[in-house]
Amino acid sequence: MKPQHIEQFFATLQAANPHPQTELEYASVFELLAAVLLSAQATDVSVNKATRKLFVVANTPQKMLDLGLEGLEQHIKTIGLFRSKARHLLQTCEILVTRHGGVVPRTREALEALPGVGRKTANVVLNVAFGEPTMAVDTHLFRLGNRTGMAPGKTPLEVEQKLLKRIPAPYLVDAHHWLILHGRYICQARKPLCWQCAVADVCAYKMKTAAP
């Protein structure tokens, strides 16, 4: 994808949705971290359904620890991989309480040192909570990076690095939201809805499939 096409791509998405937001529900940085940790290989809808009740009784690291493993598992048992996620979340809460005064750290190194928190999760927290221009490459961003020709790569890290390099600076902070939403609702995995796509004119996939 040419630089002018990338500019047009994000200008179009920005015009349609000037202030994109994550679809995970949260009211604090800790709730965001917990929700993102729980969202691995799960839908935002399923996570929100569980956390609406969970965060009423445990919206801080200490309150989460007070629930205990069994109590936490009961709240999140509808989410995939809930047992390992409950264990990681409690381990993370323990570290937050003992090493960070119950506050979510705002450096990549400290975030990635938390159990169950990888690069993608750290990128989401850094972007959504702290406004940093990070790129959390999930299945949607990986697919769009390759399919559109914007940032082709064989690994999430390769796609992430290319996106950060190629997306114009004014769009970087919100770019990962636009790409996730576009991948979730328009540029879907099995059958992209190209006829509904506002950026089809600059997409390498659409250009290729339209060629005679």
Active site residue 165: no
Choose the catalytic residue: 44, 85, 138, 191: 138
Active site residue 174: no
Choice among 63, 77, 120, 208 that is catalytic: 120
- Report whether 92 contacts 31 (CB < 8 A): no
CA distances from 26 to 35, 63, 193, 211 (A): 7, 16, 30, 45
Tell me the one-letter amino acid at 71. G
Instruction: Tell me the longest C-alpha to C-alpha distance in the chain.
Output: 63
Q: Active-site positions?
A: 120, 138
